[in-house]
Amino acid sequence: MAIFSPEKRIWWKQPIHGLELGWIIVVFLWGLFMFFFMIAWHFIGDQNLSTETYRIAPDKFVERVEEFAEEFQAMDENGEPIEEEGVPVVRPAAGGDVYLLARLWEFWPIIELKKGESYRFHLSSADWQHGFSLQPTNINISVHPGYEHVLSLTPTESGVFGIVCNEYCGIGHHTMTGRIRVVE
C-alpha cells in the first residue's frame, strides 16, 4: 500500500522512466551473459566434472565395492590386512577402476592411490542421497542411490585427502567422512 495514491489507477499503462528502463536492460543483458557463461565455464573453468552416470541397483553396487575391497585389500609386511578403525585400506591397480560406497554414515573403503596415475572412480550410495566433497580440492558430487557416477581422477599431489558428506543425510551426517591417500 502506497503512502499516496497514484494519480492514475492503471499504473502499468504509464510510461517507463528512462533510468528504470536502463536498469531493466542492464539486468536482462547480465542475465543473458551469466546464462551463456555458465555453459562456457564448464569447458574453460574446470569447475564441473564431466562424469558418466549409469543406473544400478544399490545392492549390486554394494556387491561390486565389497568384491573390489576384497581383491585389492592392502596387506602389511606380515600378510595381515591393513584397516583403520575397522575400515579396510584398499590399493587398486594403477590406472584401474576404483569403487567407493557412500552409506549411513561413512565412505567405504579407504582408498590409497599412486600420484600421477589415472583412475576411473565409481561412486554411488547404498541408502540415501549423500554429497561427495573431496577436501581440499574442489570436487563435489551429489551421490544418489541407484546411480553410479564414473569420473576420471589423476592425483597430482601426495597426501591424505578427506571426503566429507555435504548433503544432510540424517542424525549422523556430521560424522560421515572418508579418506583417500595418495602416495608417491
> Quick one: pLDDT at residue 102?
96
Report the candidate in 168, 110, 160, 167 with the shortest Cα–Cα distance to residue 142: 167
The CA distance from 184 to 79, in Å, is 22
> Quick one: pLDDT at residue 4?
74
> Quick one: pLDDT at residue 43?
76
What residue ranges of the chain have pLDDT lower than 50?
Answer: none
SS3 content of the chain, % helix, strand, coil (to 5): 25, 35, 40
**pLDDT > 70: what percent of the chain?**
92
> Quick one: pLDDT at residue 10?
75
Dihedral of the alpha carbons of 170, 173, 140, 108, in degrees to the nearest 10: -110
The predicted model scores a pTM of 0.74
> Quick one: pLDDT at residue 115?
94
Cell of 132: 561427495
CATH superfamily of 52-76+83-183: Cupredoxins -  blue copper proteins (2.60.40.420)
